[in-house]
Structure 1
Amino acid sequence: MKIQINGQQLRFRIDEDALAELLDSGHLTRSSHLSPGVRLVQRIVLGDAPDGAALQVEPGAWSLRLPRADLLDYVARLPCRDALAYVLPGGAADAPLYVGIEVDVRDSVRRRGPRRRGTGTAPDPTAE
């Protein structure tokens, strides 16, 4: 999992293996050891609540909750360059937080094949 922060934009980028783990177990957890004794845990958790995405930030841990249905709709469009995007309340009333999660498009093309033009879906790799 790669995380990019730029002002009020937060981007989570995962590969196909991490996506499979997320879909299979309902969560994806990674950690970074920033210095001796300092660890930052990053989580993406799937939920079934229809109230959208949420970001929970605690000392030493970030957790992004995604609606399962949104992720499944996004997966059906892979490979694509678009992110699954949300606008969340930020730390200040006038500064929303733009959060995106995306699957590495190059990895998706390698695994799924290129998208068919006009259909919006990737070819079935099991079809002959």
Structure 2
Amino acid sequence: MKLQIEGQHLRVRIDEDELAQLLAGDVVDARSYFADAFAIGFELALIDADEPRFAGQAGAWRIELPQVPVREHVDRLPTREGLRFTLPANNGKDELTLLFDVDVRDSVRRRRSP
């Protein structure tokens, strides 16, 4: 799982193995260590809901994506287009844009090879 943060935009990109894990109902997790200063744990899961959820605290994030749009997205793979969600903030101005995609190069290699 790869995470990219730029301002109020968070991009989550996974490969085909992680996608299979996610579709099987498992949680995809990763951990990044920032030298000896601190570490951040990340979890990605599918949920039966209409909207994504973001939970956790500074050192442990959990991103939950709605199952239906993710499964519909899988039917269109390989594609460079990802899923885009907006998570509102309590103050109404710091909403988070969440982009989810599957590594296109990995998808092309796996889905188009004999």
For the criterion TM > 0.5, the same-fold answer is yes
Name the CA distance, whole Å, in 1 between partners of 2:88 and 2:40.
Answer: 22
Larger Rg: 1
After TM superposition, give the deviation of residue 90 of structure 1 in Å.
3.6
Where do residues 1-128 of structure 1 align in structure 2 (5 Å cutoff)?
1-36=1-36, 38-50=38-50, 52-90=51-89, 92-113=91-112
Equivalenced residue count is 114
Change in 2 beyond 3 A, CA 1:16/1:84: same
What TM-score do you get using the length of structure 1 for normalisation?
A: 0.80
Change in 2 beyond 3 A, CA 1:9/1:91: farther
SS at match of 2:88: strand
| Runs of 4+ more than 4 Å apart | none
Name the CA distance, whole Å, in 2 between partners of 1:25 and 1:31.
Answer: 20
Asked whether the 8 Å contact 1:8–1:90 carries over to 2, the reply is no
Change in 2 beyond 3 A, CA 1:25/1:108: same
After TM superposition, give the deviation of residue 25 of structure 1 in Å.
3.5
Instruction: Structure 1 unaligned segments of length 5 or more: list them.
Output: 115-124
Asked whether the 8 Å contact 2:88–2:94 carries over to 1, the reply is yes
After TM superposition, give the deviation of residue 86 of structure 1 in Å.
0.1
Aligned CA-pair RMSD: 1.8
Change in 2 beyond 3 A, CA 1:61/1:91: farther
After TM superposition, give the deviation of residue 8 of structure 1 in Å.
1.0
After superposition, the C-alpha distances for 1:53-109 in whole angstroms (9 at most, x for unaligned) are: 011131311111111112111101100011111011147422321101100111101
Name the CA distance, whole Å, in 2 between partners of 1:6 and 1:27.
Answer: 24
Name the CA distance, whole Å, in 1 between partners of 2:75 and 2:55.
Answer: 27
Name the CA distance, whole Å, in 1 between partners of 2:77 and 2:95.
Answer: 27
Change in 2 beyond 3 A, CA 1:107/1:91: farther
What TM-score do you get using the length of structure 2 for normalisation?
A: 0.89
